[in-house]
A and B are shown apart, each in its own frame.
Chain A
Amino acid sequence: EAQVTQNPRYLITVTGKKLTVTCSQNMNHEYMSWYRQDPGLGLRQIYYSMNVEVTDKGDVPEGYKVSRKEKRNFPLILESPSPNQTSLYFCASSYRWAQTNTGELFFGEGSRLTVL
């Protein structure tokens, strides 16, 4: 089954404790992206990757890192999480986006992160 898988789905952590949210897709997509969703602010893009070893900042990259060492995985790294990073995070991927800015984005089910 074609899917985007995020882990963990739920996490409660403490300020300063490094964590990684993994994202994996099994559709051979070139484009992958991370978003956070907060009440009243909608979905905001954190980072995106047009292809392996190619990443770029979205609208709200501060406090986050990403890497794209292989096509299927695009982990989101919070080196020193703070309470303002408490949010619902979504990963997405697309086959055609990198070439044409069109096509369908497939989203994961979300990861709810709480930083105390």
Chain B
Amino acid sequence: SQELEQSPQSLIVQEGKNLTINCTSSKTLYGLYWYKQKYGEGLIFLMMLQKGGEEKSHEKITAKLDEKKQQSSLHITASQPSHAGIYLCGADILRYNNNDMRFGAGTRLTVKP
């Protein structure tokens, strides 16, 4: 089973609409990362959240970290076709003395003009 669950798996929205993607961890989070990947291309780092309650924004994308729920949400306001792609969350899971990272399976976003 995935240690990081993303929901929804895919999302189709009309241009201009707001949307939210969630990432929930089954383990304690020590850092949460959001990435975007265009189909067949490399990853773009969006932001990193480390503290509970932390909220960061990158253009029209805002992400929050809820440490108690072990969850992060990514919110896009007034979506545009340029927002289309696969959004991945990643998390630091400290294990013994070895840092490790896990990733969600991704959320595929389609924005219809």
Q: Are A and B bound to each other?
A: no
Interface residues in chain B, defined as those with a beta carbon under 8 Å from any beta carbon in chain A? none
Interface residues in chain A, defined as those with a beta carbon under 8 Å from any beta carbon in chain B? none
